[in-house]
C-alpha cells in the first residue's frame, strides 16, 4: 500500500470545515521529471528528423547558402537569373522586405534542390555493385573513382537512418535469367529425364504465363519500396498456422568460455540494462549505419521493430507495434511479473535492477491456477491460441495481464537450471544448452515476443527470437552489443554483483493476475509443443583445428570453404546431394531482407564426387582446380543473391501474383514445393567491434542456431570466430531415421550407415582433407 500512496500526486477530503487538500511533492516531482524526459525525447527525435531529412547536406549549410546569395546580391549581381525578382512580385511587403524575403525563399529552394541532387547522386552510387565481383586486390579504376565519390558524398557523420532514402530499390530480374539460373541449380539434383521435364516446364512457363506475371511484378516494384519484403513477411511468417517454436524462432548463446558472474540476479541486471542502453542508442540514432564491406545497408524497419513488436495470433498472425515501454515482463517459477526499469524518467542502475530481480527470485508465492504453463499457448498451434485468446483474453484481468506481456520492452525468463559448457560432459551440456534456448520447457518462454532473454541459475544467459519482424543479423547486432556492454562496460564487483547504488524505496515488481477457467487448451497446446521439442536433436560443435586465418591464406573464401565442407559431409552422410539453402542478405537495397544462395551447384558436386572417389581420383582429377572452381562459383552465387539477381524470391513473388490472378502454373507449383533438406546460415560477428577479440580470446561467442526446415533434413548454423575457430549448430529430427545430429549421443534406434558419419561430426573438418586438397605438397 505504501507504493500506491506514493503514486498519488494529490488527495483531498471534505470535512465540515471545508475541503482539505494534501499534495505529494515527491509524486509531483516524479511526474515533472517523467514529463521532462518525454519532451526531451520528442525534441531529440525532431532534431534527428531534420538532420536525416537534409542528409547528405547539413542544416547549417542552409545558412551558408543564404549568406552566399545575399553577399552576391550585395555586389549587385543576380545569382537567380531573375527568379528573385519574380518572387518579389508575389510578396505584399515593402521593397526592402521583399528583397530580403525573396532572397531567403530563393536560397531555401536552391538549398533543397542541391540536397535532392546530392541524394540522387548518392542513390546512383549506392546502386553500383560491380565492386563485389572484382577479385581481391584487383580493384578497377571505376571502383576506385566510385569509392572516392561515395566518401565525398557521405563524409559527414551520418545518423543510423541517414541513408534510408538514398538506398536503391530491389530490382526485378528478368524471367530468362532467373529460369536459366534455376535450371542450372537443379541440374545436379535431377536425373536426365527429370531435368528434361523440368526444362520443358520452365520453357513453357517463360513463353506463356511468365511474361504476364512479370509485368504485374514490375508494376509492383515501381509502386512499392521493396517488391519482396511485404509478401515474404505475410506469406512465409504470418500466414503460417503451425507452431513458431522450433519451426520459426531461433536462439543466440552466451560466451563459450566465460560467464561474467555466477549471480543470476546480477547477470539479469546487467543484461537488461545493456539492452535498454542499446534501445536508447537506436532511438537517438547514435549507432553507426550498418555497412557491408564499406557499403551501406538497410536495417531501418528491423531496428525500429526490435522493441515495439509482438506477434498476435488471430485469423492469421499479426505483427502489432507499440510505443516504447518502461517495463519488462519476467517469468520465474510459474509466475509472471511486471518489472519497471524506469522511475520518473530515469533508467534504473544495474544494481537497482538486480535488486528488483532478486525480489522476484525471493518471492515465495505459488503460481495461480493455470498460470504456470500459460506460455505453452504461444508454443503450440496458432489456431488454438487464436481461439483461446478470443474466448478468455479479450477483457477483464486476463486482457490487462496479457497487455503487460505484449507491451513490455521484452520478455525475461529466470530459469531454474544451470546451463553452458560445464561439468564432466561439456559437449552434451552444450547440446542441452542449445535445446533449452530453442524451446525450453515449452511453457517458460513467451515465443510471440520479438525476443526473450533467458538467464540461468548459474549466470549463463541467451535469447530466443521471433523471426517474422527481423532476420538474424539484426538480432546478432543487438546481442553482440549486449554481451560486450555487459562484460566490458558495466562490469561487476569482486563478489559478482552489479555496480551502482540502490534506491530502497523502489516499488516491488508487480505480480500479474489471471483468471484461467480451464487448463484444457493450455495442456493441449503444451502436448503439441512438447512432441515437437522432443523430436528435435541439437548438436553444438566448436571446431578449433583451424579457422578463417588458415583458409584465407589459401586465398579461399571462408564461407565457400564451409559450404563445400557441408556438401561433402552431407554426401558422406546420405550418399547423395540435396537442394541446399544458404541465407544471404539483400540489405544493400531499401527494406531488404534475405535471398537464397543455392549452394549445391554442378561445380560443388564435381568436387565432392572427385574427393569421395578415393586415392585414384585424388591424383587424376586435379582436386585443387575443382575445389577453387567450386569455391569461386559459390562466391559468384552469393554475390548475385546480394545484388538482387537471386532465384527464389523472384519465383516466390511470381507465384504470389499467379495466386492473386487465379491462374495455375505447374512450374511454379513444383518449384515452391521442393524441400530444403540442408538449410544453412552464417551468423555475423564483430559487426560493431566493441572489443578486441584478438586480445580477449576467451570472450568468443557461440553464435546461435535454429531448427531443421525439412522433417528429413538438417539445419546448420555457423559462426566464424576470430582467426582460429568455427562454431557449428546442427539440428535434425529424431523421427527421421536418415538424419542424426550426433551418432553417439542417443540410444534411440536409427538406421545409419557407419561408413557415412553424421553431419555434425564434420568429418571433412576432422581429417583435414579439405586443406590437403589445396596443398598438393602435403599429399
Residues that are catalytic? 467
For 123, half-sphere exposure in the C-beta direction (CA atoms, 13 angstrom radius) is 15
User: Are the C-beta atoms of residues 125 and 154 closer than 8 Å to each other?
Assistant: no
Residue with cell 541467451: 462
DSSP symbol at 70: H
Please list, residue by residue across 125-158, b when 16 or more beta carbons sit within 10 angstroms of its beta carbon and e when fewer do: bbbbbebbeeeeeeeeeeeeebbeebeebbeeeb
Helix segments in 290-348, DSSP class H: 300-305
User: Are the C-beta atoms of residues 311 and 495 closer than 8 Å to each other?
Assistant: no
Q: Compute the distance between CA of residue 198 and CA of residue 205 in angstroms, rounded to an integer.
A: 10
Q: Number of helices (H) and strands (E), helices first, in the chain?
A: 27, 22
Q: Compute the distance between CA of residue 154 and CA of residue 150 in angstroms, rounded to an integer.
A: 6
Residues in contact with 532: Cβ distance below 8 Å, sequence separation at least 6, in sequence order: 243, 245, 246, 247, 439
User: Are the C-beta atoms of residues 750 and 742 closer than 8 Å to each other?
Assistant: no
Residue 140's alpha-carbon distances to 133, 588, 641, in angstroms, are 11, 21, 22
**Strand partners of residue 539:** 730
User: Are the C-beta atoms of residues 569 and 769 closer than 8 Å to each other?
Assistant: no
- Report DSSP letters for 632-697, one per residue: HHHHHHHHHHHTT--SHHHHHHHHHHHHHHT---HHHHHHHT---SEEEEEPP--SS--S-TTT-G
Residues in contact with 523: Cβ distance below 8 Å, sequence separation at least 6, in sequence order: 373, 376
CA-closest candidate to residue 568, choices 410, 751, 763, 422: 763
User: Are the C-beta atoms of residues 772 and 778 closer than 8 Å to each other?
Assistant: yes
- Report DSSP letters for 549-589, one per residue: HHHHHTT--HHHHHHHHHHHHHHHHHSS---EEEEEE-TTS
CB atoms within 10 A of CB 365: 9
CA-closest candidate to residue 715, choices 684, 745, 677: 677
Query: Can you give the three-state secondary structure of 395-422, one letter per residue?
Result: CHHHHHHHHHHHHCCCEEEECCCCCCCC
Residue 315, Cβ density class (10 Å: 0-12 exposed, 13-18 middle, ≥19 buried): exposed
Residue 19: all three cell numbers together: 475541503
User: Are the C-beta atoms of residues 591 and 225 closer than 8 Å to each other?
Assistant: yes
SS3 488: helix
SS3 470: coil
User: Are the C-beta atoms of residues 484 and 278 closer than 8 Å to each other?
Assistant: no
Query: Pairing state of beta strands 678-682 and 594-598?
Result: unpaired
Q: Compute the distance between CA of residue 278 and CA of residue 288 in angstroms, rounded to an integer.
A: 12
Residue with cell 520443358: 200
Q: Compute the distance between CA of residue 402 and CA of residue 516 in angstroms, rounded to an integer.
A: 12
Amino acid at each position: 500500500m505504501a507504493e500506491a500512496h506514493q503514486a498519488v500526486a494529490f488527495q483531498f477530503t471534505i470535512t465540515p470545515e471545508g475541503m482539505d487538500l494534501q499534495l505529494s511533492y515527491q509524486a509531483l516531482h516524479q511526474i515533472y521529471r517523467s514529463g521532462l524526459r518525454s519532451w526531451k525525447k520528442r525534441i531529440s527525435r525532431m532534431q534527428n528528423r531534420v538532420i536525416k531529412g537534409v542528409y547528405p547536406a547539413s542544416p547549417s549549410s542552409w545558412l551558408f547558402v543564404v549568406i552566399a546569395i545575399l553577399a552576391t546580391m550585395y555586389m549587385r549581381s543576380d545569382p537567380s537569373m531573375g527568379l528573385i525578382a519574380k518572387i518579389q512580385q508575389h510578396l505584399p511587403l515593402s521593397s526592402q522586405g521583399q528583397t530580403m524575403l525573396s532572397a531567403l525563399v530563393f536560397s531555401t529552394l536552391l538549398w533543397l534542390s542541391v540536397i535532392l541532387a546530392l541524394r540522387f547522386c548518392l542513390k546512383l552510387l549506392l546502386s553500383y555493385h560491380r565492386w563485389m565481383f572484382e577479385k581481391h586486390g584487383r580493384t578497377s579504376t571505376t571502383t576506385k573513382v566510385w569509392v572516392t565519390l561515395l566518401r565525398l558524398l557521405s563524409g559527414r557523420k551520418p545518423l543510423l537512418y541517414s541513408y534510408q532514402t538514398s538506398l536503391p530499390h530491389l530490382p526485378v530480374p528478368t524471367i530468362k535469367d532467373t529460369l536459366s539460373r534455376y535450371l542450372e541449380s537443379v541440374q545436379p539434383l535431377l536425373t536426365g529425364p527429370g531435368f528434361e521435364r523440368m526444362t520443358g516446364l520452365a520453357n513453357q512457363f517463360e513463353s506463356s504465363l511468365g511474361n504476364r506475371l512479370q509485368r504485374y511484378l514490375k508494376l509492383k516494384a515501381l509502386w512499392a519500396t521493396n517488391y519482396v519484403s511485404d509478401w515474404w513477411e505475410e506469406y512465409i511468417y504470418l500466414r503460417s498456422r503451425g507452431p513458431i517454436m522450433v519451426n520459426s524462432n531461433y536462439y543466440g548463446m552466451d560466451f563459450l568460455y566465460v560467464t561474467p558472474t555466477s549471480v543470476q540476479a546480477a547477470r539479469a541486471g546487467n543484461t537488461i540494462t545493456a539492452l535498454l542502453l542499446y534501445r536508447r542508442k537506436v532511438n537517438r540514432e547514435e549507432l553507426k549505419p550498418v555497412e557491408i564491406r564499406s557499403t551501406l545497408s538497410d536495417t531501418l524497419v528491423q531496428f525500429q521493430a526490435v522493441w515495439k513488436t509482438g506477434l498476435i495470433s488471430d485469423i492469421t498472425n499479426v505483427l502489432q507495434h507499440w510505443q516504447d515501454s518502461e517495463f519488462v515482463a519476467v517469468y520465474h517459477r510459474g509466475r509472471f511479473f511486471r518489472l519497471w526499469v524506469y522511475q520518473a524518467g530515469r533508467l534504473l542502475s544495474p544494481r537497482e535492477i538486480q535488486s528488483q530481480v532478486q525480489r522476484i527470485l525471493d518471492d515465495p508465492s505459488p503460481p495461480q491456477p493455470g498460470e504456470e504453463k500459460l506460455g505453452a499457448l504461444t508454443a503450440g498451434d496458432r489456431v488454438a491460441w487464436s481461439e483461446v485468446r478470443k474466448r478468455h483474453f479479450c477483457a477483464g484481468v486476463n486482457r490487462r495481464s496479457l497487455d503487460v506481456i505484449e507491451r513490455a520492452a521484452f520478455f525475461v525468463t529466470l530459469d531454474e537450471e544451470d546451463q553452458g559448457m560445464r561439468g564432466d560432459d561439456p559437449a552434451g551440456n552444450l547440446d542441452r544448452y542449445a535445446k533449452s534456448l530453442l524451446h525450453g520447457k515449452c511453457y517458460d518462454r513467451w515465443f510471440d515476443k520479438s525476443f526473450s532473454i533467458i538467464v540461468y541459475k548459474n549466470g549463463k544467459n541467451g535469447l530466443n527470437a521471433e523471426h517474422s519482424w527481423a532476420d538474424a543479423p539484426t538480432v546478432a547486432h543487438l546481442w553482440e552489443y549486449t554481451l560486450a556492454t555487459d562484460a566490458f562496460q558495466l562490469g561487476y564487483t569482486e563478489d559478482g554483483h552489479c555496480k551502482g547504488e540502490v534506491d530502497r524505496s523502489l516499488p516491488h515488481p508487480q505480480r500479474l493476475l489471471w483468471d484461467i477457467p480451464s487448463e484444457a487448451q493450455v495442456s493441449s497446446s503444451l502436448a503439441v509443443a512438447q512432441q515437437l521439442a522432443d523430436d528435435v536433436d541439437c548438436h553444438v560443435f566448436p571446431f578449433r583445428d583451424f579457422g578463417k586465418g588458415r583458409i584465407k591464406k589459401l586465398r579461399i573464401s571462408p564461407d565457400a570453404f564451409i559450404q563445400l565442407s557441408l556438401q561433402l559431409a552431407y554426401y558422406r552422410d546420405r550418399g547423395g546431394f540435396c537442394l541446399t539453402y544458404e541465407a544471404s542478405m539483400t540489405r544493400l537495397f531499401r527494406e531488404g531482407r534475405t535471398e537464397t544462395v543455392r549452394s549445391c551447384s554442378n561445380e560443388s558436386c564435381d568436387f565432392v564426387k572427385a574427393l569421395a572417389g578415393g586415392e585414384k581420383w585424388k591424383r587424376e582429377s586435379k582436386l585443387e582446380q575443382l575445389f577453387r572452381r567450386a569455391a569461386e562459383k559459390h562466391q559468384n552465387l552469393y554475390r548475385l543473391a546480394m545484388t538482387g539477381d537471386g532465384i527464389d524470391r523472384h519465383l516466390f513473388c511470381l507465384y504470389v501474383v499467379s495466386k492473386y490472378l487465379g491462374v495455375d502454373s505447374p512450374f511454379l507449383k513444383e518449384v515452391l514445393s521442393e524441400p530444403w533438406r540442408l538449410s544453412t546460415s552464417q551468423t555475423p560477428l564483430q559487426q560493431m567491434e566493441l572489443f578486441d577479440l584478438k586480445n580477449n580470446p576467451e570472450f568468443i561467442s557461440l553464435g546461435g542456431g535454429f531448427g531443421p526446415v525439412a522433417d528429413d533434413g538438417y539445419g546448420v548454423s555457423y559462426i566464424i570466430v576470430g582467426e582460429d575457430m568455427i562454431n557449428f549448430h546442427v539440428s535434425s529430427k529424431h523421427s527421421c531415421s536418415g538424419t542424426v545430429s550426433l551418432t553417439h549421443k542417443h540410444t534411440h534406434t536409427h538406421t545409419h550407415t557407419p561408413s557415412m558419419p553424421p553431419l555434425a561430426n564434420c568429418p571433412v573438418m576432422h581429417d583435414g582433407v579439405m586443406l590437403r586438397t589445396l596443398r598438393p605438397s602435403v599429399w
